[in-house]
């Protein structure tokens, strides 16, 4: 079966998109200029600094690729411009909606507070006509509980003001999901919905822990297939699974369970949502992800449209926005 790229234009939705992992070469040059950072290298060299190669060993090596792009978004001007430029690129590439996620605590190297980072991101968001929302990421670590708690508090304060949820990202195998239960207990108390990266570098227990903590969605989640009972539970509860196929190949998540893991989730009736994860780090887009899975799994236009509808249903957007998006996707 074949899927038309042109038919996807204007209908694309991405719910798992790290903004800091999605800085294009032209955007990198613009952000470097704003920050007074010399970038006297070729475009090919900039691209190499932004993207992971085919030899990536694991998630930890993959995460190392964020050091350079993060250095480009450490001032108010850089953060604002970064969010604006990413939205404009998504608009040009035929996206209808995206949820952009980033960790405010990672953008403080030049003196910004988390609140200042959030305010700058919101200014950038409002400069574009593209419809997007923001997800604030907490980070896995051993000594950053207070920073993570501040992220949750800011998520609650700005909730509904273009910020729609929180997240937990980072080195999953090094910092188990269950360790962050107190943090997300606070999120529940404040009424902040959240997604959690789980079932990528760690196994199905990580997914079970994320569910027990109250996650509305599961980021990656492919290693859930190691536990058939968990797959049945995900299907019965229709918990959205944010599959990022290319990055899961790059980080080795799919080495643990096989590339047919996504097919297993789909055939079990799970609510799979196809996402890109990181446009620049993984050198992919959600259109490419959809076409890749369509080719690998023999999906046609109807099945791809269903995946896009899954994304709308799973989004943290309000109901009027979801209604608009359903009209676009089904039209």
Q: What is the pLDDT of residues 199-244, one digit of tens each?
A: 999 999 999 999 999 999 999 999 999 999 999 999 999 999 999 9
Q: What are phi and psi of 9, to 5 degrees?
A: -60, 135
Please, which residues bridge with residue 99 across strands?
133
pLDDT of residue 325: 96
Q: What is the pLDDT of residues 246-297, one digit of tens each?
A: 999 998 888 888 889 999 999 999 999 999 999 999 999 999 999 999 999 9
Q: Where are the beta strands (DSSP E) in the chain?
A: 12-18, 95-102, 132-139, 163-169, 194-198, 217-220, 241-243, 272-274
Handedness of CA 286, 227, 169, 33 (dihedral sign): negative
Share of the chain above pLDDT 70, in %: 98
- The answer to whether residue 84 scores a pLDDT higher than 70 is yes
List 80, 99, 131, 200, catalytic entry: 200
Cα–Cα distance, 70 to 21 (Å, whole number) = 8
Q: Average model confidence (pLDDT) for the chain?
A: 95
In sequence order, what DSSP letters do the residues of 4-46 get, joined into one string?
-HHHHTT-EEEEEEEGGG---HHHHHHHHHHTT----S-HHHH
200 included as an active-site residue: yes
Task: Identify the CA nearest to 191 among candidates 146, 148, 160.
Answer: 160
CA distance 178 to 166: 16
How far apart are the C-alpha atoms of 201 and 276, rounded to whole Å? Answer: 17
For residue range 140-186, list pLDDT tens digits in order.
Answer: 999 999 999 999 999 999 999 799 999 999 999 999 999 999 999 99
According to the model, what pLDDT value does residue 57 have?
Answer: 76
pLDDT at 1 over 70: no
Q: What is the pLDDT of residues 255-267, one digit of tens each?
A: 888 889 999 999 9
Number of independent structural domains in the chain? 1
pLDDT for 309: 96
Q: What is the CATH number of the domain that holds 30?
A: 3.20.20.140
Q: Which domain holds residue 182?
A: 5-330
pLDDT tier for residue 4 given thresholds of 50, 70 and 90: low
Q: What is the average per-residue pLDDT within 32-56?
A: 91
């Amino acid at each position: 079966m074949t899927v038309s790229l042109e038919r996807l234009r204007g209908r694309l939705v991405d719910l798992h998109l790290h903004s800091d992992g999605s800085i294009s070469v032209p955007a990198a040059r613009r952000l470097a200029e704003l920050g007074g950072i010399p970038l006297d290298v070729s475009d090919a060299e900039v691209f190499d600094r932004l993207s992971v190669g085919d030899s990536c060993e694991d998630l930890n090596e993959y995460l190392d690729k964020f050091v350079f792009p993060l250095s480009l978004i450490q001032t108010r001007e850089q953060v604002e411009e970064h969010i604006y430029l990413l939205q404009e690129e998504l608009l040009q590439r035929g996206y209808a909606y995206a949820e952009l996620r980033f960790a405010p605590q990672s953008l403080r190297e030049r003196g910004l507070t988390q609140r200042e980072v959030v305010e700058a991101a919101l200014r950038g968001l409002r400069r574009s006509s593209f419809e997007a929302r923001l997800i604030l990421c907490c980070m896995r670590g051993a000594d950053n509980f207070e920073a993570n708690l501040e992220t949750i508090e800011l998520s609650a304060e700005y909730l509904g003001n273009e910020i729609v949820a929180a997240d937990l990202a980072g080195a999953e195998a090094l910092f188990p999901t269950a360790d962050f239960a107190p943090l997300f207990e606070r999120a529940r108390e404040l009424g902040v919905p959240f997604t959690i990266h789980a079932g990528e570098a760690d196994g199905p227990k990580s997914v079970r822990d994320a569910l027990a903590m109250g996650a509305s969605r599961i980021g990656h989640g492919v290693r859930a297939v190691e536990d058939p009972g968990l797959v049945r539970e995900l299907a019965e509860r229709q918990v959205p699974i944010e599959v990022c196929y290319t990055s899961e190949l790059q980080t080795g998540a799919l080495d643990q369970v096989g590339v047919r893991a996504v097919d297993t989730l789909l055939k079990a009736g799970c609510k799979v949502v196809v996402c890109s994860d990181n446009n620049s780090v993984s050198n992919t887009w959600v259109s490419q992800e959809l076409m890749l899975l369509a080719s690998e799994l023999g999906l046609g236009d109807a099945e791809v449209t269903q995946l896009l509808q899954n994304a709308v249903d799973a989004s943290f957007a309000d109901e009027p926005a979801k209604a608009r998006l359903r009209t676009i996707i089904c039209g």
